[in-house]
Amino acid sequence: DAGVTQSPTHLIKTRGQHVTLRCSPISGHKSVSWYQQVLGQGPQFIFQYYEKEERGRGNFPDRFSARQFPNYSSELNVNALLLGDSALYLCASTFSRFEPNTEAFFGQGTRLTVV
């Protein structure tokens, strides 16, 4: 049974470029969330999508956007990259949107380096 898969695993971009990161949730999971993890810190919430709609947004600029497709996979887009966007980007999937005792499953992440 496949877990959460993210692609690519590593990426190097230059300042000002844009990037698209992809995530496939566990089969049957309808909710996908994105997190940014800067080195030495815990993951920070960026977005949650459920049933193809944005359901939550963290404190990130409008350069960050995302979408969820009918098959529940998701893309995270970041425009006008800054050096500070260098981080591990994590995708988490859950079956439902609300239940607090639902385990979130994380992918391996995409390591983005902006130079």
Partner 1 sequence: LAKTTQPISMDSYEGQEVNITCSHNNIATNDYITWYQQFPSQGPRFIIQGYKTKVTNEVASLFIPADRKSSTLSLPRVSLSDTAVYYCLVGLLISSGSARQLTFGSGTQLTVLP
Chain positions contacting partner 1, by CB under 8 A = 4, 31, 33, 35, 40-45, 48, 55-58, 88, 90-92, 94, 97-98, 100-109, 111
Long-range contacts of 52-57 (CB under 8 A, 24+ apart): 55/31, 55/97
CB of 79 to partner 1, least distance (A): 23
d(CA 54, CA 37): 20
CB of 78 to partner 1, least distance (A): 19
Is the Cβ of residue 33 or residue 80 nearer to partner 1 in the bound state?
33
Give the residues across from 45 on adjacent strands: 35
Is the Cβ of residue 51 or residue 80 nearer to partner 1 in the bound state?
51
Is the Cβ of residue 47 or residue 114 nearer to partner 1 in the bound state?
47
Is the Cβ of residue 18 or residue 33 nearer to partner 1 in the bound state?
33
CB of 48 to partner 1, least distance (A): 4
From start to end of the chain, where are the E strands? 5-7, 10-13, 19-24, 31-37, 44-50, 53-57, 64-68, 74-78, 87-94, 105-106, 110-114
